[in-house]
Amino acid sequence: MASSPASTTGVAAGVPREVRRRAADRLPVLSLRGLAAGAAWLALAGATYGLPEEGDFPYTVAFATAALAVGLALPPASALSGRLGRVGVSLAYWTPWLAALALAFLAWELITAKFGLLPMPFFPPPQAILEVFLEDWPKLGGSILNSLKLLLGGYLIGAALGFAAGVAIGWSKAVGYWAHPVLRFVGPLPATAWLPLAFFVFPSSWSASTFLVALATGFPVTVLTWSGVAGVNKAYFDVARTLGASPAFLVLRVAVPGALPHVFVGLFMGLGGSFAVLVVAEMLGVKSGLGWYLQWAQGWAAYANMYAALIVMALMCSGLITLLFAVRDRVLSWQKGLVQW
């Protein structure tokens, strides 16, 4: 009996080594998708560098060089994706999207900088956006940092208060009796409707904006947490009580874990709402942030800066949602296969 675990371990350890050895022995083969993606980026580089421009764009050569580097690197990287681990898996998955991105850049470059089919400066070419990222990064980076600080502060406050309120309402009938009418009356109001009152009541535009972001986050988190706690199977509580569980155990070890899928739905909805409120609040109140940068760029007709801010906003929101999903997958790993969103 003592030899069984050892032999099992040996077999389990030998299979990955064998797989790795076979993969190492396999010669890299250029894939059609990698070649197509590389060709698309090379076409972008050639069109950007070779065709005359309808304007003066100082970063045309830099943009063409970057496209050329990507175009030359993609085919061999795609061929070696089997040896690059998780990076190679991601590269193989996203290669079609990389080709589509190159074609989109190529169309954008042709209809703006090369043929002038769209009016300038309302529709700047890609190299003008690149110029903003390279030359205006101190102001843009400071705006990103301030937006993140404001968003995270308000979001964490709203999520914590909303979670506590949702658990209290879902668990206690007395709390639900008093809180339910208030939520139904005040909750549906959009957070931006409180803008005039918030900037009047709070001592600074920063604290008023934090309150608005927390308000936009708190309502969906409260409602979804309340729904999750109220929807936990009553049999779980009966079994726990039969085994002598205390009220604190019932809340913390039965109700809250059972409600977590709903809680994460509320956190997801609250993140989207808080981001919308953040941009509006920064446009009206604070002196730095992506919303402020967007309004500043519009006021100076710096449309390339405006598009750069929009791109950063999209990347920031997408990154935060991806981070939230990663936390959800880790926290709810015990419900793997049940959570479908």
The CATH number of the domain holding residue 222 is 1.10.3720.10
Residues 102 and 132 reside in one and the same domain: no
How much is the mean pLDDT over the chain? 85
Alpha helices, DSSP H, located in 26-59: 32-50
* Among 114, 148, 166, residue at a domain's last position: 114
* Among 86, 114, 142, residue at a domain's last position: 114
Residues 262 and 293 reside in one and the same domain: yes
- Structure tokens that stand for 172 in this block: 């206690």
Alpha-carbon distance of 282 to 305, in angstroms, equals: 16
* Residue 143 in this model has a pLDDT that exceeds 60: yes
pLDDT category, 85, cuts 50, 70, 90? confident
105 Cβ partners below 8 Å, 6+ apart? Answer: 44, 67, 126
Residue 11 lies in a domain: no
Between 101 and 13, the more confident residue is 101
pLDDT category, 84, cuts 50, 70, 90? confident
Residue 167 lies in a domain: yes
Smallest Cα–Cα separation from 230: which of 169, 279, 144?
A: 169
Residues 149 and 243 reside in one and the same domain: yes
- Structure tokens that stand for 149 in this block: 């600080």
* Residue 10 in this model has a pLDDT that exceeds 70: no
pLDDT category, 41, cuts 50, 70, 90? very high
pLDDT category, 31, cuts 50, 70, 90? confident
Residues 292 and 153 reside in one and the same domain: yes
* Residue 146 in this model has a pLDDT that exceeds 50: yes
With tokens 């959800």, the residue in question is 328
pLDDT of residue 133: 92
Residue 219 lies in a domain: yes
- The average pLDDT across 80-92 equals 81
Overall size of the chain counted in residues? 341
pLDDT of residue 68: 94
Alpha-carbon distance of 271 to 216, in angstroms, equals: 8
Q: How many helices (H) and strands (E) does the chain have?
A: 14, 0
Residues 131 and 99 reside in one and the same domain: no
Residues 136 and 213 reside in one and the same domain: yes
Residues 307 and 185 reside in one and the same domain: yes
- Structure tokens that stand for 116 in this block: 């002038």
**Full-model pTM:** 0.79
First to last CA, the chain: 45
pLDDT of residue 339: 55
pLDDT of residue 205: 83
Alpha-carbon distance of 241 to 244, in angstroms, equals: 5
> Which own/partner pairs from 14-19 qualify as long-range (CB within 8 Å, at least 24 positions apart)?
none
Residues 185 and 132 reside in one and the same domain: yes
Residues 95 and 137 reside in one and the same domain: no
How many domains is the chain partitioned into structurally? 2
* Among 92, 114, 136, residue at a domain's last position: 114
What percent of the chain stands above pLDDT 90? 34
Residues 91 and 162 reside in one and the same domain: no
pLDDT category, 2, cuts 50, 70, 90? very low
Residue 4 lies in a domain: no
pLDDT of residue 91: 85
pLDDT category, 159, cuts 50, 70, 90? very high
pLDDT of residue 152: 92
Residues 110 and 130 reside in one and the same domain: no
Residues 110 and 252 reside in one and the same domain: no
pLDDT category, 25, cuts 50, 70, 90? low
Smallest Cα–Cα separation from 164: which of 226, 236, 233?
A: 226
Angle at alpha carbon of residue 90, lines to 20 and 133, rounded to 5° = 140
- The average pLDDT across 74-97 equals 84
100 Cβ partners below 8 Å, 6+ apart? Answer: none
Domain that holds residue 173: 126-335
pLDDT of residue 20: 55
Residue 98 lies in a domain: yes
Residue 9 lies in a domain: no
ω into 121 cis (within 30 of 0): yes
Residue 201 lies in a domain: yes
Are 147 and 289 within 8 A, CB to CB? yes
Residue 281 lies in a domain: yes
